[in-house]
A and B are shown apart, each in its own frame.
Chain A
Amino acid sequence: MAEAKNLPRGDLPTGARQHGPATGHVVSVRILLGVWALLLVLTLLTVQTVISPWADFGSRMDLYIALAIATVKAALVLLYFMHLRYDSPLNAMWFIFALFFVALFIGGLIGDSQQYQSDLIPGYAPAMNP
């Protein structure tokens, strides 16, 4: 079983590279600049959606559109600037796993707080419910 000792510990490394310097993936300049340009365009888009009078979808739609665009921007940063696209999928899994709990937290609280608003008695907390 001597060969077993040469096997790496833990989960197998990505690409089964086991020796040599750990260089990791190098992102090309084209991708760096391209992502940056795309981020700026999306920022412009998101600002225009709110400012310009011809794109008035109402406050709620504004929020959804803005969040959708923000999600796309964040995904670009995560995938390319932060190498998630080229890394072990375990890293991405952890991040997304955490996002589930964020969604649970926020969703749960919005739901409950909206439900108990009708129970609040005006005047009992003067600053909160005049």
Chain B
Amino acid sequence: MAESSANRSGSARGLYGAEPDNYLTHTRGVASWLFTLDHKRIGVLYMVGVLASFLLGGILALLIRTELLRPEAFIMKADMYNTLFTLHGAIMIFLFIIPGTPGSIGNFVLPLMLGAKDVAFPRLNLASFYMWLVGAVFSLLAIVMGGVDTGWTFYTPYSTTTNSAVIPVVFGIFLIGFSSIFTGINFIVTIHKLRPPGMTWFRMPLMLWSLYATSIIQVLATPVLGITLLLLIAERVLHVGIFTPAYGGDPILYQHFFWFYSHPAVYIMILPAMGIISEVIPTFSRKHIFGYTFIAYSSIAIAVISFLVWGHHMFASGMSYMAAAIFSALTFAVAIPSAVKVFNWLATLYKGSISLATPMCYALGFLFLFGIGGLTGLFLGALAVDIHLTATYFIVAHFHYVMFGGAVMGFMAGIHYWWPKIFGRMYNDRLGQIACLMIFVGFNATFFPQFVAGSQGLPRRYFQYPQQYQWYNVFSTVGSYLLAAGFFLVAGYLLYSLVRGRQAPANPWGSATLEWQTTSPPPVENFAEQPEAGDPYDYSNLVYDAVEGGYIARGPSQGGTNG
């Protein structure tokens, strides 16, 4: 087989054969970025945006943790504390995690994995980014206006009666909801309509199954959040009387409305990360993914079942006992597809040829941390146990284990996996491993004590706490500083790689999905020639070439098994 030009030294020749021409260098200037229709550039714009949001949310978290070093007031007053945890939650959830992986990595990788030139609706894609941006500006406006103190869940009647800047934040989130919907529509249509010849549904990379399932949730659940937030604004401005008891409204109705979106939303957060893990683990085990069909179907199952369990956030709210019992039973069901995935990933690792590159470190960390997070979710799904654990730090620890230990670790794995493809540079892998270790240890130090403290009764969102819990809080805070240090290290070597990193080959990790068949970074049109779809997990003919510094295809593939 002749080697294509794409496999040579990671750079395609530009029109005049002088410098490598890729999507980053093809056009220059701020306007070419602000008005781009190229999904790759939009992905990069999203990445910058969500990482900036992560930084902001993280700083807020550090402030919270620092305040909690002492049982009494330490560096701030109670109102400020309420504002901080509200903003931390809202920014992390709505500005970072929900748009994060689909918007940045998803946008970049999805068309490449399909061998396509772009997503189905490039202008809608740009619109989705701008909706995110405007929504983020509104949310930040709230900070300027003194912040919000309702908790990120905006429960009525407090949120309809408090004097803080609820409306800018809520309106900002409403706009970000549109961003989510547009991205979802784009991904669904692209996967339906732009698959290459030969790539049937069951020959797609599992990342695409995950993004498809994520998009289902995005388009079906987000509008309900939209109407909920609109009603909240109407309630505050006009006193419509639908959620506030003093005007005749029903606050439990608000909670139903809110959680009908927000529970499926947590699966928007985790499914893309699971998709990334499904790509990283086989690649770094040099072994075909185990149980492809099961993983594919479990993604859809998670998406569908996630709509049936929202009431488990409301066990102590005044909901009826019958509904509580039904939701508790259904919550156990939603754990099953996730467990199916974990078993299949472990089976993939078994007898694989494991290489501990940085993406794999994050993926292994994911397995451990998401395992803990998911299992503690089962504790909380049990109705009788939840009555005692709800609104304690147990909940805080649980959702941080799944959202941070799950979704963010997956996101970090994805960033490190596709970094060479996106920016054409290799980063220092040793530093990557060290940072991953710091993050892993720091994370566990921060959040594991919170399980214990919560089960011993420490309530969440409390500004002051009894003396007996101080030791847990101090341990947790020190852990959070280590965690932050790990992230600053990551930022350091990644940014350094942009200026001094080794030029990346087309396929540094030896993966078999289509995006690695083009240069790193890809040209504007994604592929110099149409790649042919095969088994995305068949590594039999990929060998490492020292000259290239990456993997190239030698000989025909042995024909991988599918499943």
Contact = CB atoms under 8 A, between A and B. Distances in A.
A and B, one complex?
yes
A38 to B, nearest CB: 30
B253 A104 contact: no
A112 B323 contact: yes
Interface string B84-128: 000000000000000000000000000000101000000000000
B247 interface: yes
A48 to B, nearest CB: 32
9 contacts: A4-B197, A9-B194, A9-B197, A104-B308, A112-B320, A115-B320, A116-B252, A125-B245, A127-B245
A101 B220 contact: yes
A113 interface: yes
Interface string B196-221: 11100000000000000000000010
B29 interface: no
Nearest to B264: A101
B224 A113 contact: no
B245 A9 contact: no
A9 B189 CA distance: 12
A19 interface: no
Contacts of B252: 112-113, 116
B325 to A, nearest CB: 11
B245 A128 contact: yes
A11 B256 CA distance: 37
B246 A9 contact: no
B364 to A, nearest CB: 35
A113 B194 contact: no
Given A1-B532, A4-B197, A9-B194, A125 B319 contact: no
A106 to B, nearest CB: 10
A70 to B, nearest CB: 20
B248 interface: yes
A9 B199 CA distance: 9
Contacts, number: 73
A10 B195 contact: yes
A128 B250 contact: yes
Given A112-B252, A112-B322, A127-B247, 8 more contacts: A1-B532, A8-B197, A97-B220, A101-B220, A111-B322, A113-B252, A127-B246, A127-B248
A64 interface: no
A127 B479 CA distance: 49
A94 to B, nearest CB: 8
Contacts of A65: none
B322 A115 contact: yes
Contacts of A116: 252, 318-320
Contacts of B245: 124-125, 127-128
Contact of B197 (A7, A101, A124): A7
Interface string B249-287: 110110010001000000000000000000000000000
Nearest to A8: B197
Contacts of A119: 318, 320
Interface string B311-345: 10000001111110000000000000000000000
Interface in A88-130: 90, 97-98, 101, 104-105, 108-109, 111-113, 115-116, 119, 124-128
A60 interface: no
Nearest to B114: A9
B308 to A, nearest CB: 7
A5 interface: yes
B246 A109 contact: no
Given A112-B311, A113-B252, A113-B253, A5 B247 contact: no
B77 interface: no
B530 interface: yes
Contacts of B321: 115
B68 to A, nearest CB: 34
B537 interface: no
Contact of B193 (A1, A7, A11): A11
Contacts of B198: 4
B193 A9 contact: yes
B500 interface: no
B195 A115 contact: no
B256 A109 contact: yes
Contacts of B311: 108, 112
Contacts of A112: 252, 256, 311, 319-320, 322-323
Contacts of A124: 245
Identify the interface centre among A5, A9, A90, A111: most chain B CB within 10 Å of its CB.
A9
B192 interface: yes
B253 A5 contact: no
A124 B251 CA distance: 13
A115 B323 contact: yes
